[in-house]
């Protein structure tokens, strides 16, 4: 380590009370473990954190649906609406979560995080409903200024979920030495998945047919501020 870098770190510690390059303390995490045959135990270098939402109900119900599917589809983390973070397997391992044809290498180098949310809503009889017909109270919705991938009203990601992500993402970056891209503007817009730089992205970044995540302003502001 160069002398100048050491002096800089000491300065950071004096000014801010800690060295910002040190690993972040893990947030509180509970477990809903999947069986070992539901994910792959291969260990690969992690380059990406990719955000998803479940398009469904609780964390427990989502994990149960993964467990019932023999195709190794899962994410290591899922955040319930109350902000509780659940770990289903150690994120050093991997399972399918992106579905980009021909890019298994992208799956292996990604840590995906699911947010419990039904996602896009449609209006029916003056009420906002999910694709399953479940009504979402107006106070739990968010209307975008501009429609995203054909939808303008969505079930909102909760304040608790966003706060949980704000703790989980830096922890994972520190543990796996993932550097977030300096420019995160519009990180949810589609890019060529074969040429994706290291950083934080959305399922919509790598698939034009996906709608998770949607650009809720409070979530986007949090990611920009990391």
- Looking at residue 202, its pLDDT comes to 98
Average pLDDT of the segment spanning 151-173: 98
Residue 56: which residues within 8 A CB-CB, separation 6 or more?
62, 65, 116, 118
Average pLDDT of the segment spanning 129-138: 96
- What are phi and psi for residue 8, nearest 5 degrees? -60, -40
Would you call the peptide bond into 118 cis, given omega within 30 degrees of 0 as the criterion?
no
What pLDDT, in 10s, does the model give residues 50-74? 999 999 999 999 999 999 999 999 9
What pLDDT, in 10s, does the model give residues 6-15? 333 333 333 2
Residue 222: which residues within 8 A CB-CB, separation 6 or more?
162, 165, 166
């Amino acid at each position: 380590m160069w002398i100048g870098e050491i002096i800089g770190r000491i300065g950071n510690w004096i000014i801010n009370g800690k060295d910002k390059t040190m690993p972040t303390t893990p947030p509180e995490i509970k477990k809903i473990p999947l069986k070992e045959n539901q994910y792959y135990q291969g260990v690969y270098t992690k380059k990406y954190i990719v955000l998803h939402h479940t398009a469904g109900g609780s964390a427990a119900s989502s994990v149960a649906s993964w467990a019932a599917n023999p195709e190794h589809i899962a994410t290591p983390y899922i955040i319930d609406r109350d902000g509780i973070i659940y770990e289903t397997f150690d994120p050093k391992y991997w399972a399918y979560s992106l579905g980009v044809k021909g890019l298994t290498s992208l799956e292996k180098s990604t840590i995906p995080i699911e947010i419990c949310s039904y996602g896009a809503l449609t209006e029916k009889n003056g009420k906002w409903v999910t694709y399953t017909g479940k009504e979402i109270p107006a106070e739990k919705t968010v209307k975008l200024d501009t429609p995203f991938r054909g939808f303008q009203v969505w079930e909102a990601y909760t304040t608790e979920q966003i706060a949980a992500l704000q703790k989980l993402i830096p922890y994972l970056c520190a543990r796996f030495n993932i550097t977030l891209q300096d420019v995160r503007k519009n990180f949810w817009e589609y890019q060529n998945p074969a040429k994706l730089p290291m950083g934080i992205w959305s399922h919509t970044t790598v698939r034009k047919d996906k709608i998770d995540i949607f650009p809720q302003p409070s979530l986007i502001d949090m990611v920009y501020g990391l």
